[in-house]
Structure 1
Amino acid sequence: MNSAFTIMEVDQLESETHHQLTELLIRVVEDGASVGFLPPLSYDEAFAYWEDVLGPGVTLWVAVQDGQAIGTVQLQCAMKANGRHRAEVAKLMVDPVSRRGGIGRTLMLHLEPKAKAEGRTLLVLDTREGDPSNKLYQSLGYIQVGIIPDYAISSNGELDGTVLYYKRI
């Protein structure tokens, strides 16, 4: 895929987008991404995940290239009274065949202005220890807080640590 991509903010999942995000989730999980699922991920389970994503405080962006969803990220604003200044960056995913083309970085840069507009001054996220995403987050100014060992089971059955990050915006 060599053509440019665009980023769309999605506030309602149309049928085609829902299907494409379902397929994207399956591909990234099959490729070993640590996004809360283990392979083999069924179409029905992936589809059900996307059905429940859009809710209060959640903003979803989708990277589209040649009419296909090739990446996504979510901003999940804390809804409790003592957390209305913060939001979590969640489920940054880029199709394995589209990686290393600036899609993840562009998605991340789209969520900061929205977070600011929502009155959020602190972003938090976590990612698997050792994943390439750590370099991306650090290059965007996220600060590592620490590592929780044995946090998630990987596709090979081993326990992986997760790295916690924050960024003041």
Structure 2
Amino acid sequence: MSAYLRLRAVPPSALRNSATWLERLFEDGAETVPRCRDQERIYAGAPSRPPVRSRPRGQAVLGGLPVFRADRRKAPLLVLTAAQARQVAGFLAAADFEALWDAARDDLLPRYGGAVAELETWGAFAAAHQELRAFYAQTADCGEAVVKWMSEG
């Protein structure tokens, strides 16, 4: 569970479609949210608003429009418009974490040590969910877009 989701809220008028420019946003220590590797599984069973036809539902929270970097071996940066960030904030505000966990539990536990590690695993996913909820709520309140960088660490 040592992946990180680095997030940066950006005024829509300041956004650039340049990987180099987007990478610079993270030079000064953008907010880092611990991210469980399989966090998208938590959101995969949840209804998305609006429905996402071409992507897994978890992408509504963790995805975005990819901006590819010069080194294609590196993961792309992801961008959500301000409108998309508001949708994610609304989804997370309404989401019942216990119901999301119950739907994903049987798939996740074997990956993280089984039933003996359930409390720790639940805690890691719940904390990441709360941090995402808080970030997106503040971002939506400010009317900002979101740039994401998935990093190992």
TM-score (norm 1): 0.25
Higher strand share: 1
Higher helix share: 2
Which one scores higher on RCO, CA 8 angstroms, separation ≥ 6?
2
